[in-house]
Amino acid sequence: MSKLPYEVQTEPVTPLSLLSPEGEVVNPDAMPNLTDEQLKEVMYRMVFTRTWDERAVNLGRQGRLGFYAPVSGQEASMIGSEYALNKDDFVCPGYRDMPQIVWHGLPLYQAFLYSRGHQHGGQIPEDVHVLMPQIIIGAQVLHATGVAMAFKKKGEKRVAITYTGDGGSSEGDFYEGMNFAGVYKLPVIYVVQNNRYAITTPYEKQTAALSIAHKAVAAGIKGVQVDGMDVLAVIKAVSDAAERGRNGEGATLIEMLTYRFRPHSMADDTTKYRTKDEEGEWSLKDPIVRFGKYLEKKGLWSEEETARVKEEAKATVNEHIKKAEATEKMTVAGLIDSMFETTPKYLEEQKADFQ
């Protein structure tokens, strides 16, 4: 049946994709302008992050890490989107988005401390522009909106970026944040990493929308969809959105189609809700393999290089987990003193019970 003239018109969207699974350039006009060194740096970070993820899962099993949300498969969406930012742009991450804030400057041992449940994990260094990972899904969307409001009011050419998953796009705060950004024309980028599952619940049970990118229509902001397994497409989309933000052209919602190769968290069992076929299909789209092929064809990368980065990553992880483990234990008294700028008398009295 044809659409009524007074019915809102929507069309399906095709994700931006720059590389074929074989690493061939399929969309030369949209290629981001990166030097060979920059391309190698992106690959370095993706391989490093994959290795870190593998190590983190094992450290979790050994009890040396606590809460941890695996990231393998999402390196392109995470690393590429952060790489497209300036250092003074502000990142409001969800709980899975540790790689973005580490590559934005948070020392790795502090990421481990966060996982282990140590307050120093959230003590972001002064020159690092990120928040701690957000556990309440959707809350970070509003913080990024407020940060972007601050940048706009101060006339600073900075953008805020925030991340949530496909499940997060069903939250009220997700819509409210985008709607505010639309009204105030804020320099903010809302990234939805659509890995098709919110724990066990598939995308189709979250929304009947044609795509998550379509949800931008409701807020009057720009919505785009990218192949989230294609790091160059991610870099292109985020660079464009950041430029628009800095130029006063407002907010962008970017849906990144991706997949987590591992469970939702350490306590999750994917065999109960995913098929081997599906997992196999997505593994063919591995962002590191695809980008690696592209770089190899350009003579910028090799198997040996990957092996070298993996060793380096393992050594770095070891060094930082040791540093995390050697960090002084917290005290209840110290915790009490972190509640307010000046500890009120009633808390001073309660401290006495713990000294």
Partner 1 sequence: MAQMNMKEAIRDAMRVELKRDPNVVVFGEDVGKVGGVFRATEGLQGEFGEDRVFDTPLAESALAGMAVGMGIQGFRPVAEIQFVGFIFEALDQMFIQAARMRYRSGGRYNAPIVFRTPFGGGVKAAELHTDALEGLALQTPGIKVIVPSNPYDAKGLLVSAIRDNDPVFFMEHLNLYHAFRAEVPEDAYTVEIGKANIVREGSDVTIIAYGMMVHTAMKAADELEKQGVKAEVIDLRTLMPLDIDTIVASIQKTNRAIVVQEAQRTAGAAAEIIAQINEKAILHLEAPVLRVAGPDTVYPFAQIEDAWLPSPARIIASVQKVLEF
Helix (H) or strand (E) holding 165: strand 160-165
Shortest distance, position 124 Cβ to partner 1, whole Å: 5
Residue 119 to residue 335: CA distance in whole angstroms: 8
Tokens encoding 136: 């309440």
226 vs 324, beta carbon nearer partner 1: 324
- Choosing from 260, 290, 294, 320, the catalytic residue is 260
Least Cβ distance, residue 342 to partner 1 (angstroms): 9
Annotated catalytic residue 143? no
- For the CB of residue 105, give the shortest distance to partner 1 in the complex, in Å: 13
- How do 197-198 and 201-202 pair as beta strands? antiparallel
Choice between 65 and 148, CB closer to partner 1: 148
Instruction: Look up 184 and say whether it is catalytic.
Output: no
Identity of the residue, 149 or 289, whose beta carbon is nearer to partner 1 in the bound complex: 149
The continuous run of DSSP H or E covering 192 comes out as strand 188-194
Q: Is 273 a catalytic residue?
A: yes
The DSSP code sequence of 201-241 is EEGGGT--SS-SGGGHHHHTSEEEEEETT-HHHHHHHHHHH
**Rounded distance, CA 54 to CA 48, Å?**
10
Q: Which residues bind partner 1 (CB under 8 A)?
A: 90, 92, 119-120, 122-124, 126, 131-132, 136, 139, 141-151, 153-154, 160, 172-173, 176-177, 179-180, 183, 335, 338-341, 344-346
Q: Which of 184, 262, 273, 274 is catalytic?
A: 273
Q: Which is nearer to partner 1, 73 or 133 (CB)?
A: 133
- The pair phi, psi for residue 198, each rounded to 5°, is -105, 100
Give the tokens for residue 198: 């919110």
Longest dimension (CA), the chain: 74
Given the residues 45, 264, 290, 320, select the one marked as catalytic.
264
What is the helix, strand, coil percentage profile of the chain, to 5?
A: 50, 10, 40
Nearer Cβ to partner 1 (79/144): 144
Question: Which residues face 163 on adjacent strands?
Answer: 191
- For residue 79, the minimal CB distance to partner 1 (Å) is 24
Residue type present at position 195: N
Nearest-approach distance from CB 86 to partner 1, in angstroms: 16
What residue has token string 């509003």? 142
Q: Which residues are catalytic?
A: 260, 264, 273
